[in-house]
Amino acid sequence: MICALLLTFISFPFSPSQCSFSTSPFTPKAVFARPETLALQAQTSSAQTQTSIAAHANAQMNFPGAASGFGLATTKKFLSEGAKVVAADMNTTALSKQYPPNSSQSISLAAVTANVTSAADWTKLVETAESKFGGLDIVVNNAGTSYKNKPTLEVTEDEFDRVMAVNVKSIYLSVNVCVPALKKRGGGSIVNIASIGAMRPRPGLVWYNASKGAVANVSYSLSSRV
């Protein structure tokens, strides 16, 4: 199954008149890095999982959720384009498998085990980008999760909290630590991966839809505020 998603893109030189924002529904065959579009052929049957921090051609990039699915395909594309990437995921084993420590790509890659719902881990990711690659230019908020399709009244509080923490709180945490780092470089790009559910809510996934609606909305808001 190829899942459609909504990509929200913010590019900012930190002047409100120059801020830009776009939403683009598409199947996972294209991603944005900086204002350019990178062609990415990606076939995936799995849902988004937590992972991500990345960079493109002399740009340094943070990419959570980089060990599987969209995150893995996107990170590999960035690397092939000459990016320097901090690839993050909660799954240490998967990270090691996809990005072996002593591989030829290790000079342009830092694989870091991280939880995007942790402020301390976001600080660690940015510090890694700055210490290993000299700074941060692009942030891709790819981490995401959901629960099994079910009637809304059967969704547990723990399921609700997890969806909101991974899909929404993670972006809040990323902005607090990443925007100051991007400003040091004179500007940069933030890519937030939402879902077509943000605009066309699907039954049985009320709170997932709501979380992705928040991703799209916060991206609109950020584009005029940072």
Q: In the 8-state DSSP scheme, what is residue 45?
A: -
For the cut 80, the answer to whether the pLDDT of residue 52 exceeds it is: no
Nearest to 175 by CA among 143, 139, 144, 211: 139
Residue 124 belongs to domain with CATH number:
3.40.50.720
Res 15 pLDDT > 80: no
CA distance 112 to 90: 9
Express each pLDDT in 114-148 by its tens digit: 999 999 999 999 999 999 999 999 999 988 899 99
CB-based contacts of 147, cutoff 8 Å, min separation 6:
155, 159, 162, 163, 205, 207, 208
pLDDT for residue 148: 94
Look up the pTM and report it. 0.73
Q: Give the burial string for 33-62 (b: 16+ CB within 10 Å, else e).
A: bbeeebebebebeeebbbbbbbbbeebbbb
Based on the structure, what is the number of domains in the chain?
Answer: 1
Three-state SS string across 163-205, please?
HHHHHHHHHHHHHHHHHHHHHHCCCEEEEEECCHHHCCCCCCC
Reported as type and span, the H/E element at residue 216 is helix 206-223
Mean pLDDT of the chain: 74
Indicate if the pLDDT at residue 8 is higher than 70: no
Q: How confident is the model at residue 39 (pLDDT cuts 50, 70, 90)?
A: very low
- What's the rounded mean pLDDT across residues 163-178? 95
Q: What is the pLDDT of residue 60?
A: 52
8 Å CB contact between 2 and 44: yes
Active site residues: 208
Q: How many C-beta neighbours within 10 Å does residue 189 have?
A: 22
User: Which stretch, 45-54, 169-178, 184-193, has highest mean pLDDT?
Assistant: 169-178
Please give the Cα distance from 118 to 137 (Å, whole number): 21
pLDDT at residue 40 above 70?
A: no
pLDDT of residue 67: 60
Domain that holds residue 202: 5-223
Nearest Cα neighbor of 167 from 5, 44, 29, 45 is 5
Is the pLDDT assigned to residue 113 strictly greater than 80?
yes
- C-alpha 79/C-alpha 99 separation (Å) is 11
How far apart, in Å, are the Cα atoms of 120 and each of 21, 32, 204? 28, 27, 33
